[in-house]
A and B are shown apart, each in its own frame.
Chain A
């Protein structure tokens, strides 16, 4: 073992997997939200092209989920530095669980955004009012 290393050798495996989980699952949620809302917007836009730009709100909110995952993944992966700070199995497991927490929360938020966004834009087509979105924006995911 090199003299500048302290901590458990296999702990970085779990740490890096935590960073991977944070980004991959958040991107899955963001992709689902973007795709489902996007299909709704495209269907609605055939009848009402003027409302398309106002209906991009759920797509933007789904994209923000990907940014959350990116931030957590970068924080985790730059925190794994066994030379500067000892990295035990405890730290590895903590990073894994934080990455999974962020990622799976992002996945579920993205699925919710997709379903609500799709229904919302199709309702906007029926009623023709942007009021539907100011009410359903209260459902924005926090975490």
Chain B
């Protein structure tokens, strides 16, 4: 059996895939909301986090205990974990970036009102980063296939 190749492999194979899934979903929404706590314009990243967390959570299926450590189940757990990390941290950095730009936008708009729309263009580039995270998270969630009860 391949698990005997290293102690890391043996340790990983004994952690339930539901652990990885739960931590992944928690990171997706928790870290996204942390990113949304920045000053201005960044509530969209929290919404992205909520959407992906809901999508990941609907992909969780109940697997009988005898099949929990099947390779398919392990792979599904890892995929949810990685998807959650991607979405969470991409939204976090997007939120920080958009917050910094938003505060400088507010300051420069106070000086010169014609600047507001122009700096908003930069904001759009910043928001696209959160969108990249959501796209990859959703593509990766297509890999989540739990073993069916047959066999």
Contact = CB atoms under 8 A, between A and B. Distances in A.
Most buried by B among A16, A52, A62: A16
B86 A23 contact: yes
Contacts of B111: 46
A90 B123 CA distance: 41
Interface stretch (A27-35, A122-130, A134-142): A27-35
A16 B79 contact: yes
* Chain A interface helix/strand/loop/mixed: helix
Contacts of A100: none
A23 B128 CA distance: 13
Contacts of B86: 19-20, 23-24, 73
A59 B125 contact: yes
A69 B128 CA distance: 13
Sorting the interface of chain A by its residue count into under 10, 10 to 19, 20 to 34 or 35 or more gives 35 or more
Interface residues of B, number: 53
Interface in A1-38: 1-2, 5, 7-10, 12-13, 16-17, 19-20, 23-24, 27-28, 30-32, 34-35, 37-38
Contacts of B2: 7-10, 89
Contacts of B89: 24, 27-28
A50 B121 CA distance: 15
Interface of A: 1-2, 5, 7-10, 12-13, 16-17, 19-20, 23-24, 27-28, 30-32, 34-35, 37-39, 41-43, 45-46, 49, 52-53, 56, 59-60, 62-63, 66-67, 69-70, 73-74, 77-78, 80-82, 89
Interface of B: 2-3, 5, 8-9, 12-13, 70-72, 74-75, 78-79, 81-83, 85-86, 89-90, 93-94, 96-97, 100-101, 104-105, 107-108, 111-112, 114-115, 118-119, 121-123, 125-126, 128-129, 132-133, 135-136, 139-140, 143, 147, 151
